[in-house]
A and B are shown apart, each in its own frame.
Chain A
């Protein structure tokens, strides 16, 4: 049972480049989310999804896009990377569509540097 899988683990981008962070879960969870973690700021929610075809914005959505075409996958897209997006990104999932109703499982993270 793989749980929540994130790729890549590390990435370096130049300002203005685009990329997609991948997230997949094999637990048939309804709720999936993306967080960024920055020193002194803690974990902040970027976007979340309560099921295939349903996404919404979190606390810090600007500069990021998401889609959820399947239950398993929830990719995060950076359209034009900026140095302010240098961070560690975590994908998480939980069984119930209501956040906090069940245990939340996290991926290992993607460490992104934007130069």
Chain B
């Protein structure tokens, strides 16, 4: 059964810091690994999708890596800004490909 875990649950940093969010998954038979952002009271927005054959995916100040063999993904945020404050969730499919399983998220607070 696919299980997705995110560490830490919460993170507070001053503006300008580089930071790393961690995601681990138990079943490596994944199509892709997806990272989402959720602002308070809002829906989820897709940030990055890393295909299982890829090692990295970049979008602006965001860089996500994937190591299928160890069941880990990281989301690197460079030069953090107050506007980055949100909850970040990662997700991977279950073995049957019928569901996307989510971690509980990391809530990031960037202070100015």
Task: Mark interface residues in A89-115 (1 if CB within 8 Å of B CB, else 0).
Answer: 010100000111111111111000000
Q: Which of A40, A92, A101, A108 contacts B42 (CB 8 A)?
A: A108
Q: Is the CB of B103 within 8 A of A101?
A: no
What are 22 pairs between A and B in contact, CB < 8 Å?
A33-B100, A35-B102, A40-B104, A41-B104, A42-B105, A48-B99, A50-B98, A90-B44, A98-B98, A99-B98, A99-B99, A99-B100, A100-B30, A100-B34, A100-B92, A100-B97, A100-B100, A102-B49, A104-B100, A106-B45, A108-B42, A108-B43
Q: Interface residues, chain A, CB within 8 Å of chain B?
A: 33, 35, 40-43, 45, 48, 50, 56, 58-59, 90, 92, 98-109
Distance between Cα atoms of A109 and B91 in the complex (Å): 18
Which chain B residues (1-52) contact chain A, with CB distance < 8 Å? 30-32, 34, 36, 42-46, 49
Distance between Cα atoms of A82 and B105 in the complex (Å): 27
Distance between Cα atoms of A109 and B45 in the complex (Å): 12
Q: Is the CB of A42 within 8 A of B103?
A: yes
Q: How far is the CB of B76 from chain A (nearest CB, A)?
A: 20
